[in-house]
Amino acid sequence: MAKMLQRSLTAGLLVAASILQGCVNATVDEMTFLEPTEGIGDASVVIMGRRHAPDYETEFDFIECIGDHIRRGDNSISVLHELEFINMMYPWFEPRTAPLRTDDIDKLLAQQRVADRFEELKLEYMIWIDGSTIETNSSGSMTCGVGPGGAGCFGFGTWGNASDYEATIWDFTDEIEVGRISANTSGQSYMPAVVVPIPIIAPVQGTACDSLGDQLLKYLSAKM
């Protein structure tokens, strides 16, 4: 009886979780020029966000999300933390000085300090992530107040989000670009309120993170 009750509760929680999430549409495109045959071994990879655009910056937490996704998928892959790497390599990876094209790798490695640090870190791949998540629309209204019977909110709100990210993979050993992966996701979130607001959130950015993370993991890992 106890086992049957436990299964029923688990099923109920799963249903509740699905109800409290909005729907997300996702599209992933991959273009690979050169694939590793045995993963990256004991080499390391750093994932960096592009922040040179005037109207947006790739979010630091999104970059960390992708790194965590890869580490969970294959803990043998050494993924360097972005902020630590930027501070370690200052000033060469600040937005105003970071290399924009693979043609800039030669100039970068001509700096002896940079070349020595890359060798020390066994850095083989750098993955640039370019993009952001934006709110696309919003509508509805909600009113909250306190009365003799207590406090409460009434109304309905909805808003949309869209994520558009592209990962560009650089191979520092051969000084070339070896692949590109893009993820586009969109979804609608809702906030109905009858006394208590209940957010129904579409995990748009999280789905983009998982989509890019899965494809990068396939590229980098010998286990896949």
Query: What does each of the 224 residues of the chain score in pLDDT, given as a tens digit?
Result: 333 333 322 223 233 333 446 688 888 887 766 665 566 778 899 999 999 878 888 999 999 999 999 999 998 899 999 999 999 999 999 988 899 899 999 989 999 999 999 999 999 999 999 999 999 988 877 787 776 666 777 788 888 999 999 999 999 888 899 999 999 999 999 888 777 778 888 899 999 999 999 999 988 886 55
In angstroms, rounded to a whole number, what is the distance separating the alpha carbons of residues 85 and 6?
A: 46
- Is the Cβ–Cβ distance between 126 and 176 less than 8 Å? no
CATH domain 24-133+165-180+204-220 topology: Rossmann fold (3.40.50)
pLDDT given for residue 1 in this prediction: 34
Domain ranges within the chain, ordered by starting residue = 24-133+165-180+204-220
Structure tokens at 100: 């924009």
- Is the Cβ–Cβ distance between 50 and 128 less than 8 Å? yes
pLDDT given for residue 2 in this prediction: 33
The pTM is what?
Answer: 0.80
Contacts of 57 (CB under 8 A, 6+ apart): 49, 51, 132
pLDDT given for residue 55 in this prediction: 81
Q: What is the dihedral of CA 32, 38, 42, 47, to 10 degrees?
A: 20
